[in-house]
Amino acid sequence: MADISTRKADHLDLAIKGDVGFLAKTTLFECVTLVHDALPELDLDAVDTSCEVLGKKLSAPILIAGMTGGTERAERINRELAAIAEARGYAFGLGSQRAILKNPAALSSYAVRDVAPTTLLLGNLGVVQAAKLPTSDVAALAAQVGADALCVHLNPAMELVQKEGDRDFRGGLDTLERLVNELPVPVVAKETGSGLSSSVAERLKLRGIRHVDVSGAGGTSWVAVEMHRADGVKRGVGETFRDWGIPTAASVALVARHGFDTVFATGGIASGLDIARAIALGATVGGIARASLQALEAGGREGALAFFDRIEAELKAAMLLVGARNLAALKKAPRVIRGELADWLAQV
């Protein structure tokens, strides 16, 4: 347990203050231009950002993506961010619940239902851990926190660099299929910053997975996070693979072709305009992890609320300026795709 607690503390410190972005790679949202409408015939106040996701209504297509749990500091962060999600009508993700498996007392650091009773709440567990557990134990983890759905995270790149990381990734697809068939809550197949390809999307779809979080490249690099914690050969591998992954915009567009019910677009979402671009490419919701945490750490609840005010205002501005009254219209908004993103979509 001390091991996981130390790692979680390292992760929070590095995510808040560390040099953990991608070096050269971006999300490629900058390659998407939404086409301006000079005659929108819309009242900004009537622009509707609401949507239904996994059976719950959100006021805006925003997910505060899963980050933490397992320590007292994690508990404070989870409760603050979950309360904001409740107040604003966003979705909220918990960090990996693996710590509960090692120490059942850690459950309190994931307990947010009292401050977020109606929020769309996503539990979280790694596919490698899930593979070793009977479905009833995984179901218990989701039920203990009152999760509406369970994110099963895929993170081979970071594990290869992590000092204590997993090495054997066999059976991931079988595990996901088993959980989809046997869990009482929906499963979200979630990357952690390296993105989902079209081929992975196809394999997931064939096994019955209906919800994904692409968590693409261009935001937080988990290889970079683990690189800072590693030494020797692993540090070298981290330095070389720091920019590994599929840019978020490319991943969203590639995955959207496969017709999932829900596509969370997480990974380097930096503005409401990025969320608008993601939705125009086929996403359902934009997810924000590190920037939410940084806003909370820098400015407390008020700072985080101000951050989300800006995100929502930018999303609404983008919708008005393309003449989209609601998210269904935004999905169909004309857009120009150029540069490297066009290359990705033409070649993969």
Ligand X SMILES: Cc1cc2nc3c(=O)[nH]c(=O)nc-3n(C[C@H](O)[C@H](O)[C@H](O)COP(=O)(O)O)c2cc1C
Residues that bind ligand X (CB under 6 A): 11-12, 15, 65-68, 95-96, 124, 151, 153, 190, 192-193, 215, 219-220, 266-269, 288-291, 293
Closest distance between ligand X and the C-beta of residue 41, in Å? 34
**59 closest CA partner among 85, 94, 93:** 85
In degrees and rounded to multiples of 5, residue 332 shows phi and psi of: -95, 5
| Residue closer to ligand X, measured from CB, 69 or 323 | 69
- By the 10 Å C-beta count (0-12 exposed, 13-18 middle, 19+ buried), 26 is classed as buried
Write down the residue that tokens 């671009």 correspond to.
Answer: 277
Closest distance between ligand X and the C-beta of residue 148, in Å? 16
| Residue closer to ligand X, measured from CB, 20 or 47 | 20
Closest distance between ligand X and the C-beta of residue 7, in Å? 10
Pair of tokens at residue 282: 């086929």
User: In angstroms, what CA-CA distances link 304 with 160, 294, 296, 301?
Assistant: 33, 8, 5, 5
Pair of tokens at residue 95: 């960090």
**191 closest CA partner among 227, 164, 156:** 156
Q: Specify whether the CB–CB gap between 137 and 105 falls below 8 A.
A: no
- Count the Cβ atoms, other than its own, within 10 Å of residue 88: 20
| Residue closer to ligand X, measured from CB, 288 or 295 | 288
Tally of residues, the chain: 348
| Nearest residue to ligand X, by Cβ distance, number only | 219
- Count the Cβ atoms, other than its own, within 10 Å of residue 239: 14
| Residue closer to ligand X, measured from CB, 49 or 78 | 78
Q: CA 159, CA 259: separation in Å to the nearest integer?
A: 29
**327 closest CA partner among 44, 49, 53, 29:** 49
Closest distance between ligand X and the C-beta of residue 98, in Å? 8
User: In angstroms, what CA-CA distances link 214 with 1, 109, 231?
Assistant: 29, 26, 29
| Residue closer to ligand X, measured from CB, 47 or 97 | 97
| Residue closer to ligand X, measured from CB, 94 or 321 | 94
DSSP 35: P
Closest distance between ligand X and the C-beta of residue 290, in Å? 3
| Residue closer to ligand X, measured from CB, 295 or 341 | 295
| Residue closer to ligand X, measured from CB, 186 or 219 | 219
Closest distance between ligand X and the C-beta of residue 180, in Å? 17
Pair of tokens at residue 156: 């081979």
Closest distance between ligand X and the C-beta of residue 45, in Å? 29
| Residue closer to ligand X, measured from CB, 15 or 330 | 15
Q: Specify whether the CB–CB gap between 289 and 270 falls below 8 A.
A: no
Q: Specify whether the CB–CB gap between 63 and 92 falls below 8 A.
A: yes
Closest distance between ligand X and the C-beta of residue 11, in Å? 5
Closest distance between ligand X and the C-beta of residue 218, in Å? 7
Q: Which secondary-structure segment (H or E) carries 293?
A: helix 290-321
